[in-house]
Amino acid sequence: LRQYVLMPGKVHADDIPVPVQEPGSGKTRTARLWVYVRDDRNAGSQMPPAVWFAYSPDRKGIHPQNHLAGYSGVLQADAYGGYRALYESGRITEAACMAHARRKIHD
């Protein structure tokens, strides 16, 4: 599934906070689910959409950098600073997320 979602082309990415209970403590901490989506049906693609999730114990930028290490193409994501290093090589092209851009205008 990961290989299919991260084929060259365009991928949408986001992360979701997930409460995780620490073993033996009864306390929770915030981990992350990283979401990677391939869905180009609105551009006329006949390829089926797919979603790949990856877990990490924190929100450090190294996680999406590792997840997308072999990817080349367009990454549509929010302005999270952890994605910046991905764009430096030119292998991945940044495409801003319009929903996040709209919030800055309408909120």
Range of the domain at 15: 2-106
Q: What confidence tens digit (pLDDT) does each residue in 10-41 have?
A: 999 999 999 999 888 889 999 999 999 999 88
Q: What is the distance between the alpha carbons of residues 6 and 71, in angstroms, rounded to a whole number?
A: 6
| pLDDT above 80 for 97 | no
Confidence of residue 43 (pLDDT cuts 50, 70, 90): confident
In angstroms, what CA-CA distances link 14 with 17, 97, 100? 10, 10, 11
Q: Choose among 31, 21, 13, 27: nearest CA to 71.
A: 13
Report the pLDDT value the prediction gives residue 96, as an integer from 0 to 100: 80
If one counts the domains in the chain, the total is 1
| pLDDT above 80 for 100 | no
As a whole-number percent, the residues of the chain with pLDDT over 90 amount to 77
